[in-house]
Chains A and B, each alone.
Chain A
Amino acid sequence: MNTIIPEVLPSSIPIPEFVVTSFSYTLYFLHLVLNRVPGGHYVTSYLSKSTHDDPYRTAVEIGLILYGIYYYLSKPQQRKGLQSNRPNLTPAEIDNLIDEWEPEPITDAAETRDFWRLAKIPVVIGSGANNYINFTRDNDKERFENVFNLTSMNFLQLSKKDEVVQVAKQTIKNYGVGACGPAGFYGNQDVHNNLEYNLAKFFNTEGAVLYGQDFCVSPSVIPAFTKRGDVIIADNQVSLSLQNALQLSRSTVYYFEHNDMEHLDAMLTEINESEKRENLPAIPRKFIVTEGIFHNSGDIAPLPDLVRLKLKHKFRLFVDETLSLGVLGKTGRGLTEHFNMDRASSVDITVGSMAVALGSSGGFALGDKVMSNHQHIGSNAYCFSACLPAYTTTAVSKVLEIMDNDNSAVSKLQRLSKLLFDKFNKNEKIKNFFEIISDENSPILHLKLNDQFRSNVFGYTQELLYDTMVQLQKKSVTNKYFEPSEMEEKFLQDIVDDTLKTWNVLITRNIIIAKHETLPIVPSLKICCNSEMTEEELTKACDNIVESMVSLCSTQA
């Protein structure tokens, strides 16, 4: 018997006898079987040849095949399908399972605990950017006339000027309304290109890229430049648009304490050190992400420190200036001008809106040439969406021209912003109940209840709210709901309603949707001013609002 068993393992290697024999036996019988199968002798001759030349190779190959089989069997269940995942189910059982399955309704029921919000949305007759407006609420059940409007974010009111309106109308007469195509396919008209040049020139960057809607800009720009392994460190109070962008970025995301530069510095050092330890083949792209004027607080980011840190640690700086372009700086050129810095050399990506201070529609991203050009091919909301209507672009071009020649609207706005801030900040009665969280340069004043009042009346603290939200987030509860904070929002809405009904003055809550927010926010009230108001109007309205606030808060306390 021994004679016919082929010697497959070289005797030069010391291998235990039993391994050699058992291995030889297996091979021998395999050999016999294979010879019976059609084509099998090719396999055997290949095997014998390769073992002869290089025995280890066979071992490696067999190992690979075994691993392949193992890998196939251990694939995640979705690839394998039903047959291998639940092999024991009979067809009848499968039908039963399918019959039994009861999905949840497509959305939650309409009427739930937060439904009151819907009835509080004003429906304006005419434009909501005017300072005196008529509107209805709650399906026309409530009507209000000639209300002084402190909610509009059309801060400069420049697009109301006759020259801008005429330009827009002329454009509609030459171009129609829609562009009917995305930028890559004939949708980009000369006016779009020229607005990009004008924006770049006005804000002193190499390039600008237009987008159809301000809310979509960041979630499209950031993922165009990030991939797995890249690093983003963001302020922990960025708005939802940026939160979405971070979620879509696929990168590793860290947060630093709101506007806390020491914390940022420490974290940047740590990130860079851990990166060094990992010895990566190439450096990842690294971004610091923050906002110019914060949506949820009206705070301003400390740009000089951010630029110092980004240079020190070799990060790029991304700033969402939706609310600050046209508002900050002597001529409205935004955060960089506010701090007397040069945009091109300090901020790598700026994101702005044309629907806020510039008074038209759409959004844009500013930055250097390479970055801008890459968006033309890599940024989804640019590539896969139709261009803006032509008239919106010429209107913005005209507004920029006006701003370039005359900064009176901007300086008026800044005067009014300070006035608005002082009216509340210097008022001791307000301080008993409210805390002002916005900067004096922000045309949006944010007021939130102070900690003491909140815990007295609503029985919770900011920390508790944060913790609860984080807990809910962790359990991936999507309908985040926290009763005390809902009560607080209702109370803030009562203040809004009271100023409206008593004084015919409209202010608003900071409208947030808890379900989407991944970062914790406390409710606040928002008061917006714009450059078309007079100081008397604003002063009088502020006095009225203060009165409402104080009287309502006093009854609560």
Chain B
Amino acid sequence: MSTQANQTTVPLLGPEILSIESKRENEFGSLTSKDYLHQVKVVEKPLAPPVIDTPPYYILLITYLNYLILIILGHIRDFLGTTFQKKKHAVFLEQDGLAPWYSKFESFYIRRLKMRIDDCFSRPTTGVPGRFIRCIDRISHNLNEYYTYPGTDSMCLNLSAYNYLGFAQSEGKCTDAALKAVDEYGVYSSGSRSQIGTTDLHRYTEQLIADFIGKEDSMIFSMGYGTNANFFNAFLDSKCLVISDELNHTSIRTGVRLSGAAVRAFKHGDMKGLEKLIRDQIVMGQPKTNRPWKKILICVEGLFSMEGTMCDLPRLVELKKKYKCYLYVDEAHSIGAIGPTGRGVCELFGVNPKDVDILMGTLTKSFGAAGGYIAADKWIIDRLRLDLSTPSYAEPSPAPVLAQITSSLEIIMGKLNPGEGTERLQRIAFNSRYLRLGLRRLGFIVYGTADSPVIPMLLYCPSKMPAFSRMMLQRKIAVVVVAYPATPLIESRVRFCMSASLTKEDIDYLLRHVNEVGEKLNLKLNTGKSSWDGKVQRWDIEDVIKKTPEDCKHDKYFVD
């Protein structure tokens, strides 16, 4: 069947016919020089609080103005629309006695603000989300009301996927393992884990993960979000307290809400505030009754996915021990991607994993698979196997996914293809540092710590988001832009997710184009606050590309 030029549904594109070598290169670029590797070391000194660079005031003013205009325009359009074009706006009006699915007020932000830049989100893709990603071309009509698909695609440099270690591949050891699992176990499951869904492969995967993390036992689930969303109600109730970083992921918040536990938030990364909060809460106890809390759980993420910052784990462990609280760390983004051998924030900070009560993580990201895990002491896991709802009510992880997890883990641990795991880890470390320092030197404001593979670059004005995203797409680079409510209102940003599959030359390409676009959009707002010499950075692109690959290996260039 040929695809019609103006079809309104996403076409199914076949795979490109490529030689195996080009396919391999497209998914995982081979290393161009041994210089472009970096071995991460354990962080010895305590983490300094992040230095946040702030733009000149006129930028903030413009940003607010930008929102104001959008909001006023939106309200005018809403008013005119609901008075004169009732049919077109029927979705948020009452219809024959039924309330609308969503109200005008609730959906205002989405309809009038997000809709304008809807073409920057949910771009359909095909094939492997590796070094390059094939974005399916689409043409927007009527201010993103609908799209048509001409049936073509663009190969873009991929800075959007959570493919930190580059395991999103369709050939190699992991794919072989997944295919073998399809043959041996099939693609289907049979029922919940407690009923009939547990296989020997599940047990093996759980043991392997536990060994990797450094905990006695672990449990895996078929969805990372679901892991958190159905976790806390197994051991917390309304007489327990959760102290949560204000930027924690929605899945954690949903899970805590479901448990009924009381929640107090502390400012992102503010350890002093956290200590005060813990002290206050222990003394005050539960509201109204003033009885002491049954238990207090501190919830943080290892690496925050919108900020690129890490939790101050040594301090957290100290506080947790001092005040007899429990500590829960969500390592969704950090496991595999961070630490000298990929074992996450514990390893990076030299903290014994035994000191963190519960380590959670997802398998969707660094391992190129799907699902989540929870690792803890054996007695806790045994209890959780009985008390968690997911194993008894939800589907288990399917076998091909398990095979992808185990094979990628074995590569990271050096059990399979020794050397490959180390190379991947050293490449992502180098790539992340190179891009971060490169962007800073060009004059951009970049958040986050040196070793984080999540590199958020600030855009501020909401209207610069679509501009940046579209201009990058024209230059064949796929990026993710995020704004409120995922970030504070004025801190709209683009988030580069680094991957071990990119080569240094890819990053050069990226830097050149970001430099050009950044120039046009007036994004070079760096005031030098977060640079090592305290000076305003506006390097020339050629200098950056020449000097940064060497410099980025030295910690002194990263003040945070």
Point out residues on A near B: beta carbons under 8 Å.
76-78, 81-82, 85-86, 89, 94, 97-98, 101-110, 114-115, 117-118, 121-129, 149, 151-154, 159-160, 164-165, 168-169, 172-181, 183-191, 193-194, 197, 212-216, 219, 225, 227, 230, 239-241, 244, 247-248, 282-286, 314, 316, 353, 355, 359-362, 370-371, 374, 376-378, 380-381, 383-386, 388-389, 391-392, 395, 476, 478, 506, 508, 511-513, 515-516, 528
Are the C-beta atoms of B198 and A123 separated by less than 8 Å? yes
Q: In this assembly, does B179 line the interface, its C-beta being within 8 Å of a C-beta of chain A?
A: yes
Query: Which residues of the partner chain B approach A248 to less than 8 Å between Cβ atoms?
Result: 254, 257-258
Are the C-beta atoms of B237 and A476 separated by less than 8 Å? yes
Query: Which residues of the partner chain A approach B197 to less than 8 Å between Cβ atoms?
Result: 128
Are the C-beta atoms of B284 and A85 separated by less than 8 Å? yes
Q: In this assembly, does B474 line the interface, its C-beta being within 8 Å of a C-beta of chain A?
A: no
Q: In this assembly, does B537 line the interface, its C-beta being within 8 Å of a C-beta of chain A?
A: no
Are the C-beta atoms of A109 and B379 separated by less than 8 Å? yes
Q: Which of B69-77, B380-388, B450-458 contacts A (4 or more CB under 8 A)?
A: B380-388
Assuming the A-B contacts A185-B121, A189-B126, A371-B101, are A128 and B226 also in contact, with contact meaning beta carbons closer than 8 angstroms in the complex?
no
Contact of A314 among B97, B184, B237 (CB under 8 A): B97
Contact of B11 among A180, A190, A286, A392 (CB under 8 A): A190
Are the C-beta atoms of A360 and B179 separated by less than 8 Å? no
Query: Which residues of the partner chain A approach B125 to less than 8 Å between Cβ atoms?
Result: 186, 188-190
Are the C-beta atoms of B401 and A177 separated by less than 8 Å? yes
Residues of B within 8 A of A (CB-CB), count: 136
Give A81 to B281 CA distance when docked, in angstroms: 9
Contact of A511 among B192, B222, B283, B401 (CB under 8 A): B192
Are the C-beta atoms of A103 and B324 separated by less than 8 Å? yes
| Residue ID in chain A nearest B328 by CB atoms | A106
Are the C-beta atoms of A172 and B175 separated by less than 8 Å? yes
Give A381 to B390 CA distance when docked, in angstroms: 15
Residue picked from B175, B178, B386, B392, most chain A C-beta under 10 Å: B386
Chain A nearest CB, measured from B250 CB (Å): 5
Q: In this assembly, does B62 line the interface, its C-beta being within 8 Å of a C-beta of chain A?
A: no
Assuming the A-B contacts A110-B383, A165-B182, A194-B12, are A377 and B98 also in contact, with contact meaning beta carbons closer than 8 angstroms in the complex?
no
Are the C-beta atoms of A173 and B170 separated by less than 8 Å? yes
Query: Which residues of the partner chain B approach A190 to less than 8 Å between Cβ atoms?
Result: 10-13, 124-126, 136
Are the C-beta atoms of B187 and A159 separated by less than 8 Å? yes
Are the C-beta atoms of B99 and A377 separated by less than 8 Å? no
Query: Which residues of the partner chain A approach B123 to less than 8 Å between Cβ atoms?
Result: 186
Bitwise interface map of B from 420 to 434 toward A, beta carbon under 8 Å scored 1, else 0: 000000000000000
Query: Which residues of the partner chain A approach B37 to less than 8 Å between Cβ atoms?
Result: none
Give A173 to B20 CA distance when docked, in angstroms: 12
Are the C-beta atoms of A103 and B284 separated by less than 8 Å? no
Chain A nearest CB, measured from B314 CB (Å): 21
Are the C-beta atoms of B282 and A98 separated by less than 8 Å? yes
Q: Which of B336-344, B362-370, B435-443, B528-536 contacts A (4 or more CB under 8 A)?
A: B362-370
Query: Which residues of the partner chain B approach A175 to less than 8 Å between Cβ atoms?
Result: 126-128, 170
Contact of A118 among B224, B382, B480 (CB under 8 A): B382
Q: Could you tell me which residues of chain B, from 456 to 491, have a CB within 8 Å of some CB in chain A?
A: 478, 480
Bitwise interface map of B from 85 to 129 toward A, beta carbon under 8 Å scored 1, else 0: 000000100101111011100110010001000000111111111
Are the C-beta atoms of A176 and B102 separated by less than 8 Å? no
Query: Which residues of the partner chain B approach A128 to less than 8 Å between Cβ atoms?
Result: 189-191, 196-199
Are the C-beta atoms of A152 and B190 separated by less than 8 Å? yes
Query: Which residues of the partner chain B approach A109 to less than 8 Å between Cβ atoms?
Result: 379, 383
Q: In this assembly, does B168 line the interface, its C-beta being within 8 Å of a C-beta of chain A?
A: yes
| Residue ID in chain A nearest B392 by CB atoms | A511
Assuming the A-B contacts A102-B324, A190-B125, are A169 and B182 also in contact, with contact meaning beta carbons closer than 8 angstroms in the complex?
yes
Query: Which residues of the partner chain A approach B175 to less than 8 Å between Cβ atoms?
Result: 172-173, 176-177
Are the C-beta atoms of A508 and B195 separated by less than 8 Å? yes
